Each structure stands twice: as structure tokens, then as C-alpha cells.
Amino acid sequence: MGALRKELLLQWRTRAHAMAAFIFGATSLLLFSFAIGPNAEALRTFSAGFLWLGLLLSSTLTLADSFHAETENRALEGLLLAGADPRSIYYGKAVANWLQLAALGVALTPVMVVLYDAGTTRLPMLLLVILLGTAGISAPGTLYAGMTSQLRARQTLLPLLLFPLIVPVLLAAVKATALTILGDPMRQLESWLFLLVAFNAIYWSLCGLLFGKVVEE
Amino acid sequence: MVNNRFPKLPYVLLLLGIVCLAAGSYLGLFVAPPEHFMGDVQRIMYVHVPTAWNAMLAMTFALVCALLYLFTSDWKWDARMEGGIEVGVLLAFLLCCQGAIWAKPTWGVWWDWDPRLTTTAVLLFAFLGILALRRFVDDPVKRAVWSSVATIIAYVDVPIVYFSVKWWNSLHQAQSSPATVSKSFHLPLRLNAFGILFVMTAFIMLRARIASLRLEQELAPPPVLDGAMGELA
């Protein structure tokens, strides 16, 4: 809990970063529409995919920043020497990243609605999908950010390691969002939500176990 | 540290593998009857299916090495993991190429979003990422631990990717069920499977040997600190 408070406080103090991530995401949403052309029907069909790709691209900015405070002055070693449990450091960071990504997703949704005419009245369901999807990005993303933050090539390596891993999250989140926006006549939404829950359950526990190994050496 | 009890073994395996592959390919290309529906195109199965089995085997071997390294911190598992991942990546790449070559005349497209094909591609990129990670970490301890962790995480992802792609794709088209394989196809398939297995084992052994020689050099104490750092290596 203390670790989470520290992370949230840090994020609040560096809110310019969050703003930059949002602007980056919104810009990429704008750019995606140029790939399709001004075809309103196609844009609406692909809106869910664009939203999640924009979110995924800007998530690398958020995640790469998340260990900035620890790598400066080698504060991570200090925290560990002071007796902080690596697991609570990990969960504090992962939950903070999750909340920030979810907020980013919520902020990007109106941009998507305006640009692609992809409105929906099922807002609670959309929020649930955003929460589950961003949790799936955050769990392995925080672990890999912890690894790559100490390297020269962190901007390249983080997406290289993270993107193949979260293919199931991207698939499930895009499908679930599209079903929420475009309607779900065959009641497939539940199975995609189940997939997201299962992915989260596996990676939130596995990455918490492995994070200790990553920082202890 | 370098395991050199059987220095000739990889070369014996390599030779054995090449003999098996030559015999299996001869049988598959010239002796086995053409398949009823697909004709000669189907003959790529004699190399495709064994490649798939062995690619999975190499990745599983890398996972076992990763787990053993994390539990024992023995350097030989790090070297073997590097060999396993590299050979696994090579086989997964070959698998994607063979899949594309088979798909073009059969389905009319180079790429199909079939769950197996897509999972292999995802697996290929996930493990390529781990190899890239290994290149960028200079500290051998961190490199070994991090690539073990990344290997475990990537391996756990494989069944999830498979099922998600399967659900995703089943909305467009029905899965084609694998045709039952007749007896005359068995021998070339098995010969090639063992052939690739032998070649793969030889490659992993040789690659692990290079990796442990490199590690030995990296971990060697600088000449001044000889006595104090001796037990590290």
C-alpha cells in the first residue's frame, strides 16, 4: 500500500508525462484514420482496433517512464537494502501503471468516438474492458520495464519483449470493445472477458513471483 | 566448466541426422504415394511436421534450462538455454517459411491466420526478443536471470496465444480437421523427425559449448584479482 501511494504521488508530480502519453495516443488515433481514408463505415468497424493500438503504443511511454525514479541514483537498490519487499515494489508499480493506463484508455475513448463515430451507450461494459485490457498490459509490462530500464536500449527492447507477449490481450480487448460498440448478437463478449481475466490471473501472479529474481541479483 | 566429456558426440549426431534426413526425404519425395487431394504439395508435410515437433521440443528444452538455472544458478544451464532458444528460433522461422510455401498452392495465399501458424509467428518474435535482450545485457548474471525469467513468461504465453487466435479465427471460418495419416506416410515422417532431432541436438550442444566458452572468458577474473575472484568461475 505504501509502495502504491509512493507511485501514485510520483505519477501526480510528473503528470506532464501522462499528458504527453495522452497526446501521443490521440495523435496516433488521428494518424490511423489516414491509413483507411475518409470512409465512415470502415473507420467505425476498425475503431476498437485503433483505440487499443493507440493505447498500446502510448503504454510503452508510460511503462518506460515508470522506473525512471528508481534507476536515477540507483534508488531501487536503496529501497531493497532498506528492507522493502520486492513483491510489494512490483505490485505497487504494476497497480499504479494499471491505473494510469486505464485513465489513458478512458481519456482516449472520447477521441475515438469523435473521430470514428463509434459511440456506445454501454459505458460500464466499455470501462470494464478497458480496465481488464490495461491490467493485462501492465502486469508483464511493469516486469519488463523493470528489466529494460537499466539498459542502454530500453526504448527498443521494451516493446520488442512486450508486444508479442500481449497478443492475446490485444485480440481479446479489441474483440470485446468492438462487440460493445457494434453490438453483440451472438453473445461472444463473455468468452473474451473470460480470456482477459484468465490472462490477468496468470500474469499478475507469475510476474509478482519472478520480479524478486529480476531485481535481487 | 565446459562440458567436454563427449567431444565427438555432436558430430556423430550431426552425421546420423543428415543420414536420417536424406533417407526420409528420399522416401517422402520419391517412394511414398502422392496424397489423394493435395497431390505432391502435401510432401512438404514430411519436413514440416517434424520441424514443428522439434521446434516445440527446443523451446521446451529452453524452458527447462531456464527453470533449472533459476533454481541452481549453474552456468551450464544458461549456456544450454542460449543454445535451445537460438535453435528453437531457427526452427520456428523455418516452420513459418514452410507453412507459407504450403499455404500458397493449397489455400491460394501465403499467410493464413490459422492458430498454429499465428502462434508460431508470435512465438518466433517473443523468443527473438529474448535473444535481443541477451545481446544488450553486459552483466552475465543479470543476462542469465533475465533471459530465464523472459523465457518462462514467453513460454506460458504459448497456449494462451493459441486459444485466443483459435477463438478469434473461428468467427470467420471453420477449422480444417487434420486428415488421418495412412501407414505409407509414417516411415518418411519418422525418419525426418529423428533426423531433425539429431541435427537439432547437435546444434544445441555445439552452440551451448560456444556459449560456455564465452561465459568462461567473461567470468574469468582479471589477472590482478586472481586469488579473490577464483571461485566465481
Residue B138 has pLDDT above 60, yes or no: yes
Sign for the CA dihedral angle at A152, A156, A161, A166 comes to: positive
Partner residue opposite B129 with nearest CB, options A150, A160, A203? A160
Kindly report, residue by residue over A33-82, the tens digit of the pLDDT: 888 877 778 888 888 889 999 999 999 888 887 777 777 767 777 777 77
Chain A: closest CA distance from residue B142 (Å):
7
Q: Best residue in A165, A182, A186, A200 to probe B by mutation, most B CBs within 10 Å?
A: A165
Question: If you average pLDDT over residues B161-170, what whole number do you get?
Answer: 79
Residue A148: count of CB within 10 angstroms of its CB? 26
Residue B37 has pLDDT above 80, yes or no: no
ipTM of the complex: 0.82
Burial class (CB in 10 A: 0-12, 13-18, 19+), B215: buried
Domain that holds residue A30: 2-216
d(CA B86, CA B104): 28
Question: If you average pLDDT over residues B146-150, what whole number do you get?
Answer: 91
Residue B228 has pLDDT above 70, yes or no: no
Residue A192 has pLDDT above 70, yes or no: yes
Angle, alpha carbons A159-B58-B62 (nearest 5°): 60
In chain A, what residues touch B72 (CB-CB under 8 Å)?
A: none
Q: What is the pLDDT of residue B229?
A: 53
Question: If you average pLDDT over residues A141-145, what whole number do you get?
Answer: 91
pTM of the prediction? 0.82
Determine the residue of chain B that is closest to A207 in CA distance.
Answer: B153
Q: Would you place residue B141 in the very low, low, confident or very high pLDDT band (cuts 50, 70, 90)?
A: confident
Determine the residue of chain B that is closest to A198 in CA distance.
Answer: B160
- 3-state DSSP assignment of residue B1: coil
CA B163 to mean position of chain CA atoms: 21
d(CA B81, CA B182): 37
Question: If you average pLDDT over residues B112-123, what whole number do you get?
Answer: 83
Q: What is the pLDDT of residue B178?
A: 45
Residue A96 has pLDDT above 60, yes or no: yes
Q: What is the pLDDT of residue B184?
A: 66
In chain A, what residues touch B146 (CB-CB under 8 Å)?
A: 147, 214
Q: Best residue in B71, B162, B164, B165 to probe A by mutation, most A CBs within 10 Å?
A: B164
Q: Would you place residue B151 in the very low, low, confident or very high pLDDT band (cuts 50, 70, 90)?
A: very high
Residue of A168, A180, A178, A187 whose CA lies nearest to A46: A178
Total number of domains in chain A: 1
Q: Is A167 on the interface with B (CB under 8 A)?
A: yes
Chain A: closest CA distance from residue B67 (Å):
11
Q: Which helix (H) or strand (E) holds B117?
A: helix B115-136
Kindly report, residue by residue over B2-13, the tens digit of the pLDDT: 556 677 888 888
d(CA B129, CA B135): 10
Question: If you average pLDDT over residues B204-224, what whole number do you get?
Answer: 82
Q: Would you place residue A170 in the very low, low, confident or very high pLDDT band (cuts 50, 70, 90)?
A: very high
How would DSSP label each residue in B118-154?
Answer: HHHHHHHHHHHHHHHHHHH--SHHHHHHHHHHHHHHH
Residue B150 has pLDDT above 50, yes or no: yes
**Between residues B44 and A140, which one has the greater pLDDT?**
A140
Question: If you average pLDDT over residues A171-194, what whole number do you get?
Answer: 85
Where in chain B are the domains? 9-171+185-219
Mean pLDDT taken over chain A: 85
In chain A, what residues touch B164 (CB-CB under 8 Å)?
A: 167-168, 171-172, 195
Kindly report, residue by residue over A149-167, the tens digit of the pLDDT: 878 777 788 899 999 999 9
Query: How many CA atoms lie less than 13 Å away from B74 in the CB half-sphere?
Result: 12
Q: What is the pLDDT of residue B173?
A: 43
Q: Is A83 on the interface with B (CB under 8 A)?
A: no
Question: If you average pLDDT over residues A189-201, what whole number do you get?
Answer: 89
Question: If you average pLDDT over residues B102-113, what whole number do you get?
Answer: 79
